[in-house]
Amino acid sequence: MAPILKLIAQRLALGVLLLLAVSVLIFAGTQILPGDVAQSILGQSATPQALANLREAMGLNDPAYVRYFKWLGGVLTGDLGTALSSGQDIATSIKGRLWNTLFLAFWAAIVSVPLAIILGLLAVRYRNGFVDKLISGLALASTSLPEFLIGYVLVFFFAVKLQWFPGISTVYEGMPFGQRMQAIALPATALTLVVLAHMMRMTRAAILNVMQSAYVETAELKGLSAFNVIRKHAFPNAIAPIINVVMLNLAFLIVGVVVVEVIFVYPGMGQYLVDHVAKRDVPVVQAVGLIFAAVYIGLNIIADIAAIIANPRLRHPK
């Protein structure tokens, strides 16, 4: 087997094992939550016999490892279970929510990734100058602000004061594309501001690290302009760490949307998770948590594979 294929196979196998370990943690975490699931469903006025019957029907009397393997077997066959609060199939309910979250994350990434790389390149080109200090200062300010504060500020100015965009991001199936884009404008902006600063700063750091190399100094001594040195020599060799940072932030755009979706009441996975956590709907929490973990691990694997392809040195660890 070629070295690169062997490394990719190792990353994929490690990802599967990691996801299996995460599934154990998710299941164990939901099982040790305080309270009684049957009691929360039937209410405080439920009789002991009714509680016992419901626990038997839900399999709560089985040992924990039996319930885990039943749940894992259902996940592997595409059965995520049934929501306790509504009785609906979780996989069917999640499809539309997952699409909404991916749609929001996609447009945030379309704006944030190119903008972060461009700002990082500008900061390197004018390093230690006014442009570099301005970009770095704005990035530091953006990093210091939590996403819920950014969301509320955007709502206050652009929804309440200026009334340019709706404060509640309501989307539905069959909604016209223009109206959908207007509805997600504020949450997408909030997500963009959250991840933009980190990607820009890491892009700047990666390129500056390469700029200290001997071949970059040689290119400068040959009389190449600063722009051409960055474009032809520094940026291509810094692409591997940049890809890693971009993938990690894309994972955050999908997994870390919970706060933003709750602020804007956006019907995505984050809002779906929070709604069912309040109802102590354990199967939904387990399903959404596993999907978030799979997305995060999957994007990290893609980042590793992209780094291996982009950087020949990673193909030969020795």
Mean pLDDT, all residues of the chain: 78
What are 283-312's pLDDT values in tens digits? 888 888 888 888 888 888 887 777 777 666
For the chain, the domain total comes to 1
Q: Is residue 51 part of a domain?
A: no
Q: Is residue 86 part of a domain?
A: no
pLDDT at 285: 84
pLDDT of 212 > 80? The answer is no
Tell me how far CA of residue 59 lies from CA of 46, 51, 54, 76, 243, in angstroms. Answer: 18, 12, 8, 19, 45
State both tokens at 247.
């993938």
Query: Which residue in 41, 230, 48, 195 sits closest to 124, CA to CA?
Result: 230
> Nearest-5° angle of CA 49, CA 55, CA 60?
150
Tell me how far CA of residue 220 lies from CA of 124, 198, 236, 241, in angstroms. Answer: 15, 29, 16, 23
Could you tell me which residues are beta bridge partners of residue 82? 89
Q: Is residue 50 part of a domain?
A: no
Cβ-based burial of 6 (10 A; exposed 0-12, middle 13-18, buried ≥19): exposed
- pLDDT classification of 7: cutoffs 50, 70, 90: confident
State both tokens at 155.
């709502």
- pLDDT classification of 11: cutoffs 50, 70, 90: confident
Q: Is residue 102 part of a domain?
A: yes
* pTM value surpassing 0.85: no
> Residue 148 is part of which domain span?
98-315
pLDDT at 317: 53
| Span 89-106, average pLDDT | 84
Q: Is residue 128 part of a domain?
A: yes
CATH code for the domain of 252: 1.10.3720.10
Packed helices 282-310 and 269-278: angle between N→C axes, nearest 10 degrees: 150
What are 218-254's pLDDT values in tens digits? 766 677 676 677 666 666 666 777 777 777 777 777 7
Q: Is residue 180 part of a domain?
A: yes
Cβ 123 vs Cβ 131: under 8 Å? yes
What are 16-69's pLDDT values in tens digits? 898 888 888 888 877 776 666 666 666 666 677 776 776 776 666 677 778 788
What is the residue type of 265? V
Q: Is residue 157 part of a domain?
A: yes
Cβ 298 vs Cβ 221: under 8 Å? no
Cβ 225 vs Cβ 299: under 8 Å? no
Q: Cβ contacts of residue 305 below 8 Å, gap of 6+? A: 8, 11
Cβ 311 vs Cβ 4: under 8 Å? no
Q: Is residue 257 part of a domain?
A: yes
